[in-house]
């Protein structure tokens, strides 16, 4: 079993791959209770699919692999605080725990702007841990956008 930091390092590697493809550098790792792992990175630009965020990509891969849309007991590690779309998918998939790196003050839907994963009005709540390798995650995404603005 890896630590939260080790899973986040894997997610950071995926985010770097996204950046190499010209995508916003966000990476995700999903771990099932049996230890099976799935990895993905952002791909909306390359796939022409607005929903192809790293979190959605990794949830789709895991659901397809197990033949079920529910990922009970799964943990998801992502380099950037999830948006509303991704948080909604996590709730519907019944993910048990989400760990993220950098906060997203403009669109973060799990702590910064909204608190969807802990909203007791919804039918499922997700345990949450933010700030894992936050500085490294933030530097990676800031560097990407700084380079884009330079061009």
Just list the catalytic residues: 55
What is the distance of C-alpha 138 from the center of its chain? 14
Structural contact between residues 38 and 29, judged by C-beta atoms closer than 8 angstroms: yes
Burial class (CB in 10 A: 0-12, 13-18, 19+), 88: middle
Ramachandran region of residue 94, left (φ > 0), alpha (ψ -120 to 50) or beta?
left
Distance, CA of 63 to CA of 70 (rounded, Å)? 7
Alpha helices in the chain (DSSP H): 4-20, 44-47, 54-66, 84-92, 134-150
């Amino acid at each position: 079993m890896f630590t939260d930091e080790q899973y986040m390092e894997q997610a950071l590697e995926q985010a770097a791959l996204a950046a190499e493809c010209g995508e916003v550098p966000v990476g995700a790792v999903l771990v099932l209770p049996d230890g099976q792992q799935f990895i993905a990175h952002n791909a909306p630009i390359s796939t022409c699919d607005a929903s192809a965020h790293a979190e959605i990509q990794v949830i789709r891969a895991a659901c397809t692999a197990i033949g079920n849309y529910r990922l009970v007991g799964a943990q998801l590690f992502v380099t950037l605080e999830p948006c509303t779309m991704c948080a909604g998918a996590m709730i519907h998939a019944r993910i048990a725990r989400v760990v993220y790196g950098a906060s997203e003050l403009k669109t973060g839907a799990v702590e910064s702007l909204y608190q969807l994963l802990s909203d007791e009005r919804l039918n499922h709540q997700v345990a949450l841990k933010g700030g894992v390798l936050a500085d490294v995650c933030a530097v990676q995404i800031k560097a990407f956008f700084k380079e884009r603005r330079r061009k």
